[in-house]
Amino acid sequence: MSKIVKFGEDVKGYEIPVLNEREIRAGAGILFVLMFVAINQAASKGDFTLLKYAILIFLFDMLIRVIINPRFSPVLIIGRLIVRKQTPEYVGAKQKKFAWIIGVALGVIMLVHLIIFNAQGPVTGLICMVCLIFLFFESAFGICIGCKFYQWIYREKAQYCPGEVCDIKSRHDIQKTSLPQLLIVAGFIVYIVLSVLLLNESFKKQPYNLFGIEHGKEVSDKINSSINTELGALSVSLRVKDIAVSKEFYEKLGFEVSGGEEKQNWLIMRSGDHVIGLFEGMLESNLITFNPGWDQQCNTLESFKGVKDIKEELRGKGIRIEMESEETKTGGGSFFVTDPDGNRILFDQHV
């Protein structure tokens, strides 16, 4: 039983139980990638599913390390397989156990907060950031931040630290940083800042596809552009019974008033590119409205098919034109058509 439940391994030449730092760093790298992808998905898409699984994996693995034996940690076993051809670098097990206990504590908090109570907030973000920092420093630099806390709390010197940082007294020449090297780093930072300032606008442009293959978004953008060019901005005009009640309802859906006058019983409401009109006592039925010459933000298009051309084109296709107005000096005007189900469609050009 003592061989199963044990922390650290006995290696000849070492006075205390030790662990292989190389497999620990490999394991930290695996967990870092998992947590980074999960946190990124939660932050960018609002999908916490992968993060919840990542928390379960992280906590389960840490509990095995601390309570049973690091030898049976699935992540460390995978890490051992990855670095099996590398010469082991032994580190003291005692400070590592303390660091992993911190990991268990963070994992338990996340388990309760995000999985059991299914809640998100500053606590979630803060702990996720702490975990990422701990894992990144361990995997990238071989620096065990939790081990540093061990020395501060217990006031005793840790033994067999990675890179012998616990014992080193004077740095070798290859470890020293000269003034020219520091100036190079400072110059590199200036280079990055200047790159952002000078190239930011250029880098924001979407690259064209080298082989001419159109992806879904590109096709969608072209379709939307075509629709805007052909028919103009699309909106829905709704016949409402009480303008105030309808306004309150659509505000709950995320729409905001962008035009009209409530006292006159009509409002234009917008949510992004989506536009609706609310009309009390003005319409016989709901309307679909196209505004030739405008995009969805009511900006004038550089080129567009005018209401006159649209009207003649539809008439040529056998569609009956209703209530057409006289053409204005700017070429504007309006007319109605009715679809087979009796829904009325208004074409109304203002530019």
Q: What is the pLDDT along the chain (351 residues), one digit of tens a residue?
A: 557 788 888 898 888 899 999 999 999 999 999 999 999 999 888 889 999 999 999 999 999 999 999 999 999 999 999 999 999 999 888 889 999 999 999 999 999 999 999 988 888 889 999 999 999 999 998 888 888 787 778 777 767 776 555 655 556 777 688 898 899 989 989 999 998 899 888 777 766 666 655 455 554 454 444 444 478 888 999 999 999 999 999 999 999 998 899 999 999 999 988 899 999 988 888 999 998 888 888 788 888 888 888 888 888 888 899 888 877 666 678 889 998 888 889 988 887
What CATH number has the domain bearing residue 275?
A: 3.10.180.10
Residue 337 CB partners (closer than 8 Å, separation 6+): 314, 319, 320, 321, 322, 344, 345, 347
Q: Are residues 238 and 160 in the same domain?
A: no
Say how many domains are in the chain: 2
Q: Are residues 149 and 257 in the same domain?
A: no
Amino acid residing at 191: Y
CA separation (Å) from 189 to 177, 200, 330? 17, 16, 55
Distance CA 103, CA 57 (A): 12
Distance CA 89, CA 97 (A): 17
**Whether the Cβ atoms of residue 301 and residue 325 lie closer than 8 Å to each other:** no
For residue 121, tell me if it sits in a domain. Answer: yes
Q: Are residues 151 and 37 in the same domain?
A: yes
For residue 2, tell me if it sits in a domain. Answer: no
Distance CA 109, CA 123 (A): 9
Distance CA 71, CA 6 (A): 9
Range of the domain at 299: 226-349
- The token pair at 332 is 């504007």
Q: Which of 168, 189, 213 is the endpoint of a domain?
A: 168
Q: Are residues 163 and 25 in the same domain?
A: yes
For residue 193, tell me if it sits in a domain. Answer: no
**221-249 burial by CB neighbour count: b if 16+ within 10 A, else e?**
eeeeeeebbebbbbbebbbbeebeebbee
